[in-house]
Amino acid sequence: MQRKRKLWEINMSSRRQVHFLDAKENGCTNNAQQKQQSLQQRKEKQSPSKASWDQLEILGGVKIFPQGLCSMSFLRYLYMSHNRISVIPPEIAQLKNLVHLDLSYNMVKILPPEIGEITELKELHLQCNQIRCLPMQLGRLFQLTVLNLNHNPLNPDMLQLYNSETTQSMLSWLLDSEGFAMPPPQVASGAIWAVAAILTRSRAMSTTSGSNGTTSGANGSTIHGTAFTVMCYNVLCEAYATKKQYPYCPSWALQWEYRRRGIMDELRAYQADILCLQEVETEQFGVFFRPELAKAGYEGIFSPKSRARTMTANESKYVDGVAIFWKRDRFTLVKEDLIEFSQMAVEKYEKDCKANHQMINRVMVRDNVAIMAIFEVLEESTGQRRQLVVSTAHIHWDPEYSDVKLIQSIMLLSALWKKIENHLREQNPQADKVDVASMPTIICGDFNSLPDSGVFEYLSRGRVNKSHLDFKELGYAKILDKLTPRRSQLAPTEEHLEHDFNLLPCYFGSNNCTNFTYGFRGVIDYIFFTADHFNNIGYLDMIPESWFAQNGILGCPHPHISSDHFSLLAELELLPASGSSSNHGNGDERQTS
């Protein structure tokens, strides 16, 4: 404490001190000081971003918590020790930026539950008060490192807990003991299925819904397509769901036995025809996901990350990977394949990318994977069997490796293009050439990339500048054309990297997030589809932001939300084969070479 006090004394110039002279008169200030304090509060309230100070010390035997103090949300340090305050108002929750609160040597008897909303708090000094009980909401202060409750008449159970546990252990106990009486979010409980009534047509189609349930194209002709639903969901692997990573979540809500029930309830509730899952643990795929989903009519395939091959059987069962499940009564699996980005990086480097060592130093050491499945589905309008490709990927997570994310995404499309081409040649061995672009394709997963990233630009627009900032000026431009699918290899351009899949995102224009933790909130999960072959009929709306705000949700996982990601659910319409040749581009007016 002496060392920290010394630091505060050095910064005294940034601390405002208010001395209440007439404390005996019911804790009121004299008029001059009252006017001066009121003027200062109004000034800071009007322009808090320009506040030249963030520390405040209140002295003088104050009895009543000063009115207006809670509006000074810019405060980070508040010292109110050695006063006579007995009541802390619930409005103290408005001091969202406080990191240090000293209420020691007062007469406080009860702490308001709202104190748990000051989640930036790191030090809380409450010694020498009259506190008997603590609100369970105190456990939400997961960043608290100092909690001083000495010389308070705590009840025996709380006193024993305080004396025998560390601060973090005590906070964890309080958080685990807090009741969660709030209702689950409407989407999670199935109350919002507005997706069934919302048509979100791609910007390439300009279609409307007919009264008979069919879809009318831009030319007025009726399209009798085959509709099905696709879900993309990062379920949060058990190994990553730790108290260290998610300290704001109760320990019991992080346990896999609890979370897996919520995950499976969600999968069963939506009954998607195709499920694309990420962070599925190897063992859990075999003992939980596959048998449980089989009861609901699903079959599935799975692949762990590449590191699993270097481990013992006992170690590898904890490695996470990606999985695809499908309704067996709707789809027939024709072929499955694995895409290992680390292996592709080595192969590309050895073959024709030795001009850039980053393929080895940065890309090869990331063992992310993707899988693809080729399905047959019965076309409802003709009774014929159609084939389509579904792929799911989990791209590297680290924000410092934006180049790796982009290279992995480029290799993903390159590998898919090549595997589809090989499949079509196997089916048509006598054909001189095959049309890869004629294969309906769905690509989804956790891309760990925001909508303003090079990854999203490349996938959704079909091109990305070779000097994009995400490449980090690491010399990738020399080898990019050799990594991409057909277009850049046959007709490379000096400025851009291109592909021919003509993809559109299902959730295009959505302002909500797909990943929500205390330190991050954004869209990083996507479902893409080839615009020439599918209509985007609609998608399930995200959990309303009002639910998080009203219930003070700091992040996920949460007792009502089993992962730090939200599931994406889209309904797509596979257009009849005869309509796939029409021009349903994404606005880039790209020509197929």
Tokens of 217: 């194209």
Cα angle, residue 294 at apex, residues 293 and 300 outer, rounded to 5°:
80
> Measuring CA to CA, how many Å separate 79 from each of 5, 96, 98, 106, 535?
12, 16, 11, 12, 61
How many angstroms separate the CA atoms of 116 and 246, rounded? 16
Residue 180 CA to residue 426 CA, distance in Å, equals 57
Q: Are strands 320-327 and 274-281 parallel, antiparallel or unpaired?
A: antiparallel
Structure tokens at 188: 């999670």
Q: How many CB atoms lie within 10 A of CB 371?
A: 23
Per-residue exposure over 40-61, b if at least 16 CB sit within 10 Å of its own CB, e if not: bbeebeeeeeebebbbbbbbbe
Q: Which residue shows structure tokens 């934006």?
A: 402
Structure tokens at 455: 């990854």
Per 3-state DSSP, what percentage of the chain is helix, strand, and coil (rounded to 5)?
35, 20, 45
Give the integer Cα–Cα distance in Å for 235 and 565.
7
What is the CB neighbour count within 10 angstroms for residue 328? 13
Within a 10 A sphere around the Cβ of 152, how many other Cβ atoms? 19
Half-sphere exposure of 401 (CA within 13 A, CB side): 19
Question: Measuring CA to CA, which residue among 194, 110, 95 is closest to residue 152?
Answer: 110
- For the chain, give the longest Cα–Cα distance: 100
Contact by Cβ (8 Å): 357, 345: no
Single-letter residue type at 353:
C
Cα separation of 181 and 560, whole Å? 11
Around Cβ 196, how many Cβ atoms within 10 Å? Answer: 9
Distance CA 397, CA 408 (A): 11
Q: How far apart are CA 462 and CA 502, in angstroms?
A: 6
- What gap in Å lies between CA 246 and CA 225, rounded to an integer? 44
Residue among 273, 446, 481, 564 flagged as catalytic: 446
For residue 28, list its beta bridge partners: none
Active-site residue flag, 532: no
Q: Among 261, 256, 252, which Cα is nearest to 240's?
A: 256
User: Closest by alpha carbon to 305, among 281, 269, 332?
Assistant: 281
Given a contact cutoff of 8 angstroms between Cβ atoms, the answer to whether 529 and 538 are in contact is no
Is 99 in contact with 122 (CB distance < 8 Å)? yes
Question: Tokens 């940065």 map to which residue?
Answer: 362
Task: Tell the residue number behind the tokens 């089916």, with chain if given.
Answer: 427
Q: What residue type is 247 in one-letter code?
A: P
DSSP, res 231: E
Separation between Cα atoms, residue 513 and residue 516, nearest integer Å: 7
CA 446-408-492 angle, to 5 degrees, is 130
- Residues belonging to the active site: 446
